[in-house]
């Protein structure tokens, strides 16, 4: 997991990763629990499973509302490690 980051939309990052599969699983976990989230930094390469382009794209961020941060982090802690990778 990552430390909270803010942005202009008022959302906070609960996951920062280059792993498109981990991001998809994390997003589906939050969606299933009714926690609204959005992805920042996603490009066509990640969507196709090709990974980020070195120097061209940064890590993807899964963003939630501040009031959902604690619940989102609790759910994600069960499935995603501190490096943004899926647990075993």
pLDDT at residue 38 in the model: 93
Q: What percent of the chain has pLDDT over 90?
A: 40
Tell me the pLDDT tens digit for each residue of 25-35. 899 999 999 99
Q: Is the pLDDT of residue 36 over 50?
A: yes
The answer to whether 29 and 72 have CB atoms below 8 angstroms apart is no
Least Cα distance to 14 among 73, 68, 65 occurs for: 73
Structure tokens at 2: 């990552």
pLDDT at residue 53 in the model: 56
Residue 59: which pLDDT band, with cuts at 50, 70 and 90?
confident
Q: pTM of the entire structure?
A: 0.72
Say if domain 12-77 classifies as CATH 1.20.1070: no
pLDDT at residue 55 in the model: 45
Cα–Cα distance measured from residue 43 to residue 88, given in angstroms and rounded to the nearest whole number: 26
């Amino acid at each position: 997991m990552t430390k909270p980051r803010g942005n202009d939309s008022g959302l906070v990052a609960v996951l920062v990763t280059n792993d498109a599969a981990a991001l998809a699983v994390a997003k589906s976990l939050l969606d299933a629990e009714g926690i609204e989230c959005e992805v920042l930094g996603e490009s066509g390469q990640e969507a196709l499973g090709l990974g980020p382009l070195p120097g061209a794209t940064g890590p993807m961020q899964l963003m939630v509302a501040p009031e959902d941060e604690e619940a989102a982090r609790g759910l994600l802690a069960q499935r995603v490690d501190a490096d943004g990778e899926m647990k075993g």
